Structure 1
């Protein structure tokens, strides 16, 4: 459709007007930064459903206002990943992914299941309320089993990695936003306010270890075809729906929905594990009243994922990636005050060095010790 700007609600309504998804109400959804995402309320139900999610991939990062280019090819990987899930994944009444109802490759539009108007991201849920222990454990275990199954797809004779081996944009982004920024963050070259006046003064020996690890991991991200990975596996991409059994009754987990598969690719299992655990660690540090819930979720996640047994190499990649995430992201996303941000980055340094050089005993006592 010519002369339509799908970054605006008015033109989204125009785009939908002659489709089964014509809508009377369209509202922008918060949370993501790469795409323009809306909840659409249909004039007439489609397949018994009244709301869907409309996702438009512009040729730039949505949050940048057009200043940062980003390949629209990313959407093709997401669609293929969601379709692959439907083919490979056994039915699960607790955790799933949104079904794709429309993919307009020319307009770069997807229409997906709405995970629920009452659903919240796992990150926001942990911030918002004190979860019963049984719910926190159930959430973590469900996510761990889910990720374990995803990472084991390559063992199935019917599995074909297909286009995911060639998601070069996904590989580039995964390497750049963590390992590509470690030394420039720690050295002060990136001029991040929270890490300046004074600088962190990280010892040269530790910087050398981190520099070598960053080079190694960046190479592995670009060249490893270990397994199928999500690529952006964090609590902000996992929607949670809860229910109460009765008025004032027990809170239960109803459904989990895993979103945003644009970075799905052949990659390293430890990066998915590490990213999830890093964000849970940030919740522990910056929301101390939620430390117990975050710890329960992370513990049950790792125990459920572990599956076939201890894996030292996997644990080292995961713990180092937690460190990389704490260093690269904490000072760039507002979590708390300057002092706490600096302490968290310093913790990230220690996890990076420990992942590279730590003893087996250190690894067993680390945040990912349950993988051991």
Structure 2
């Protein structure tokens, strides 16, 4: 019977019996109950300078049809964190980092890593009052764009290990693609074009092996550490990219879509200036830095699907406002399939205009 680290007592027992980490302090549940249990461990004796660690346990829940995938994703996260942290992407003095891996137990499905504390996610930080200044937002956007562009280049090169990342069939098993159409229907939107697009995305996931992608590059998976300078200015100390469970080989447009798509929600519901500033500088920097081609119309279609998919579960607005997001999302899906260069130059992805590769259209003609 697999070990279940679902209580504080069970985590204490695991640490005592399977590791050399000592703690007598209460263990804090950070997150748990669906796919993983995540615990904060405060050490009695610091380990390599760390006074606390994060323990993540992938419980093979029998109740879930994808329980095997839940366990395997922890393995992918371990491999990705180890490879990326040791790569040139996280050089000394860089503004972007990933949590250091401290311990991995493949038999019991436990990953212990650096504790980054209680610093906010970028999503939370952008939604605070007073809002961050535009110059800080521009720095953050540029750094994140350059990091992901470099990841795409590194992942395509000969020095990047294949990491033992998941076969594409397991990526398609993700529930995210299967809920887009039902979520649109909850807002009264039914359109056969959505079914075409979802089928296309599933086919892409089964065949795309273009380069390494983070796979879950959204504002909620980026932590920001900010300090005040002596003159009162806010300075970014560090950006941390967390939750690498979905790291895999695929279409790099997915990483571009998620941050730029989130910026729409920030702009629409929290702060227009912050959301627009982040979007503009992120896409501008990515367009400048990217050496792996990204089809801007694939980005546009992905944005539309992102807005349809996430407006409701993330609580962006009331029913009428969610319907507006779904309608805008469907418009972007339609415009992206039409591949109009004139429209692209005025769209939420306009910084990517005139960079489309000379290839067959992404949607419809390839179906």
- Scaled to the shorter chain, the TM-score interval is 0.7 to 0.9
2:259 and 2:163 map into 1 onto residues whose CA distance is 25
Q: Does 1:123 align with 2:107?
A: no
2:212 and 2:296 map into 1 onto residues whose CA distance is 18
Other structure's SS at 2:308 match: helix
Alignment CA distance shift 1:160-1:226 (3 Å): same
The alpha carbon displacement at 1:309 in A equals: 6.9
Q: Does 1:70 align with 2:67?
A: yes
Aligned mate of 1:315, from 281, 293, 296: 296
2:305 and 2:274 map into 1 onto residues whose CA distance is 23
Preserved CA contact (<8 Å) 2:134 2:277: yes
* 1:321-368 residue CA offsets vs partner (Å, 9 max, x unmatched): 111111122223322211111111111101111111141011121111
TM-score by length of 2: 0.87
Alignment CA distance shift 1:239-1:339 (3 Å): same
The alpha carbon displacement at 1:303 in A equals: 1.4
Other structure's SS at 2:159 match: coil
TM-score by length of 1: 0.86
Preserved CA contact (<8 Å) 2:228 2:234: yes
Aligned mate of 1:283, from 263, 266, 275: 266
Alignment CA distance shift 1:123-1:157 (3 Å): same
Aligned mate of 2:220, from 216, 221, 236: 236
Q: Does 1:255 align with 2:238?
A: yes
Q: 2:359 aligns to what?
A: none
| Unaligned segments of structure 2, at least 5 residues | 354-367
1:266 and 1:369 map into 2 onto residues whose CA distance is 26
Other structure's SS at 1:239 match: strand
Q: 2:203 aligns to what?
A: 219
| Unaligned segments of structure 1, at least 5 residues | none
Alignment CA distance shift 1:183-1:32 (3 Å): same
Of the structure 1 ranges 19-28 and 332-341, higher mean CA displacement relative to structure 2 is found in 19-28
2:88 and 2:291 map into 1 onto residues whose CA distance is 24
Alignment CA distance shift 1:70-1:368 (3 Å): farther
Other structure's SS at 1:157 match: coil
Aligned residues: 346
Q: 2:249 aligns to what?
A: 266
2:76 and 2:16 map into 1 onto residues whose CA distance is 27
Preserved CA contact (<8 Å) 1:170 1:231: no
The alpha carbon displacement at 1:141 in A equals: 0.7
Q: Does 1:6 align with 2:13?
A: no
Preserved CA contact (<8 Å) 2:79 2:163: no
Alignment CA distance shift 1:277-1:70 (3 Å): farther
Q: 1:355 aligns to what?
A: 336
Preserved CA contact (<8 Å) 1:31 1:236: no
2:292 and 2:212 map into 1 onto residues whose CA distance is 18
Other structure's SS at 1:217 match: helix
The alpha carbon displacement at 1:162 in A equals: 4.3
Alignment CA distance shift 1:112-1:351 (3 Å): same
Alignment CA distance shift 1:154-1:44 (3 Å): closer
Alignment CA distance shift 1:149-1:308 (3 Å): closer
The alpha carbon displacement at 1:31 in A equals: 9.1
Preserved CA contact (<8 Å) 1:167 1:263: no
Alignment CA distance shift 1:185-1:88 (3 Å): same
Other structure's SS at 2:255 match: helix
1:295 and 1:33 map into 2 onto residues whose CA distance is 34
